[in-house]
Amino acid sequence: MPASEHRHIKALREGLGRIGVLATKSEVLRAGLALLAEREPSEIARLIDALPKVAKGKRGKKR
């Protein structure tokens, strides 16, 4: 996941915190999945096509 998307999650968590809702990163991602489940597959496909491409696989461990 690109760093910019981690920043989006952090911003969502901070926004939720400002209205008194403390959410973990996992809860934010699960909520996003629940919202996606309400969409048509064709709409989800358009969203996926619009995402920037990132390299597949895991990065090496930091030492």
User: How many C-beta atoms surround the C-beta of residue 40 within 10 A?
Assistant: 8
Expressed as residue numbers, the domain containing 21 is 3-50
Residue 18 lies in a domain: yes
What per-residue confidence (pLDDT) applies to 19? 98
How many angstroms separate the CA atoms of 41 and 8, rounded? Answer: 23
Residue 15 lies in a domain: yes
Which residue has tokens 């809702």?
Answer: 21
What per-residue confidence (pLDDT) applies to 26? 97
Residue 22 lies in a domain: yes
How far, CA to CA in Å, does 45 sit from each of 13, 32, 34? 26, 15, 16
What per-residue confidence (pLDDT) applies to 55? 84
Name 31's Cβ contacts closer than 8 Å, sequence gap at least 6: 23
Q: Please state the domain count of the chain.
A: 1
Residue 37 lies in a domain: yes
For the stretch 12-61, pLDDT in tens is 999 999 999 999 999 999 999 999 999 999 999 999 999 988 888 776 66
How many angstroms separate the CA atoms of 51 and 60, rounded? Answer: 23
